[in-house]
Copies of this chain bind each other. A is one copy, B any other.
Amino acid sequence: MRNFAGKHILSVSQFSRTQLDQIFEVADRMLPYARRQRVTRVLEGAILNNMFFEPSTRTRISFGCAFNLLGGQVRETTGLKTSSLSKGESLYDTAKVISGYSDVIVMRHPMEGSVGQFAKASRVPVVNAGDGSNEHPSQALLDLYTMSKELARFDAKLDGVKVAMIGDLAHGRTVHSLSRLLSLYKNVQFTFVAPPELAMPVEIVEYLIEKGHDVRETASMEEGVHDVDIVYQTRIQEERFSSKEAADKFRGAYRLNHFVYSQFCQPTTVIMHPLPRDSRMEANELDNDLNEHPNLAIFRQTDNGILVRMALFALILGVEDQIENTAREVNWFTGRRFEK
């Protein structure tokens, strides 16, 4: 059972469907702790070093809180310029040193492959929290977990799911990793909604087709979001277009708002987004007029991030079956959390 203990979490390509099932089963068991119904101290005395050599408020806090919720302590480092890495220290040295201080390390670094290189020299398990444009496996895991939970509300499953991914599919590591994970399930229908300039890379499309999935590509959002279980919206990143004008021509078509949703989506279509969403008027890829919609899952996604990250820590530190040993009821007021 302890097939995760001591392992690094570096890439979505390391997971089998059985392992995903195991992570999600442990994540389910984290719910009473994340919801502040129960407290566990299972990792009391353990230390996470949360190393963010590139800024990230959401992911950094999520990992830190997940570890705290298991009872562990978190030490944090942010910024690259003020670190010894900037004085010519190798990733090998940093890994040797910091792993001597830690029980587990979470690392984000701007350089592709850096976290894997760091992990090779580390004496403790390392979780990749993003290495440049390469991988960010916990994001893909929490997205997949969320899809599975959202589908369950409508008695559906990941096998046979119909997903539309919208926006800049060429550059987003999120949609690449998520597609690879989804390919482990059966008969997935992928609809990639993007302008040709931002289409999903050919090798991923071919990989999915080879695995037997149904892949559709379109530049029309109205066409793409029709009759799908999930729309996964991402941001149009203006800076990657040749000009602002080139970006602007796709703008209107990729705004998901209440009108578009009610006009073109099914009443059960779930809305997801990796966040942060740009709420400035000129961007506005996912409109605030959907904020109260029951199928808007974006904050359930971030809530699920805690469950999935708690599960990853529990599994790689081999305590997944000890959570209840030190558990008790929460003793403080949590009423506000469960108000609408």
* Any B CB within 8 A of the CB of A71: yes
Which of A155-163, A192-200, A217-225, A274-282 faces chain B? Answer: A274-282
A221 CB, min distance to chain B CBs, angstroms: 20
Contact B5 A335 (CB under 8 A): yes
Residues of B within 8 A of A107 (CB): none
Q: How far is the CA of A330 from the CA of B55 in the complex (A)?
A: 33
A290 CB, min distance to chain B CBs, angstroms: 12
Task: State which of B45, B58, B291, B330 has its C-beta within 8 Å of the C-beta of A71.
Answer: B45
Which of A89-97, A128-136, A208-216 faces chain B? Answer: A89-97
A87 CB, min distance to chain B CBs, angstroms: 5
Which of A109-117, A143-151, A179-187, A316-324 faces chain B? Answer: A316-324
Contact A291 B55 (CB under 8 A): no
Q: Digit string of A296-307 for contact with B (CB within 8 Å is 1, else 0)?
A: 000100110010
Contact A36 B103 (CB under 8 A): yes
Task: State which of B39, B303, B333 has its C-beta within 8 Å of the C-beta of A100.
Answer: B303
Q: How far is the CA of A330 from the CA of B317 in the complex (A)?
A: 11
Within 8 A of B (CB), among A262-286: 275-280, 283
Q: How far is the CA of A280 from the CA of B65 in the complex (A)?
A: 36
Q: How large is the interface on A (under 10, 10 to 19, 20 to 34, 35 or more residues)?
A: 35 or more
Copies in the complex: 3
Residues of B within 8 A of A124 (CB): 336-337
Residues of B within 8 A of A99 (CB): 337
Q: Digit string of A49-86 for contact with B (CB within 8 Å is 1, else 0)?
A: 10000011110011011001101011111110011110
Contact B45 A336 (CB under 8 A): no
Task: State which of B6, B49, B302 has its C-beta within 8 Å of the C-beta of A61.
Answer: B49
Residues of B within 8 A of A333 (CB): 2, 5-6, 316-319
Name the residue of chain B whose CB is nearest to the CB of A327: B45
Name the residue of chain B whose CB is nearest to the CB of A316: B333
* Any B CB within 8 A of the CB of A288: yes
Name the residue of chain B whose CB is nearest to the CB of A279: B90
13 interchain pairs, CB-CB under 8 A: A40-B45, A56-B84, A57-B77, A61-B75, A61-B98, A84-B275, A88-B280, A100-B299, A100-B303, A103-B334, A123-B336, A123-B339, A125-B336
Chain A residues near B (Cβ < 8 Å): 2, 5-6, 36, 39-47, 49, 55-58, 61-62, 64-65, 68-69, 71, 73-79, 82-85, 87-90, 92-94, 96-103, 123-125, 275-280, 283, 288, 291, 299, 302-303, 306, 316-319, 322, 330-337, 339
Knowing that A46-B332, A87-B278 touch, tell me 4 more A-B residue pairs with CB under 8 angstroms. A42-B331, A103-B332, A123-B339, A318-B332
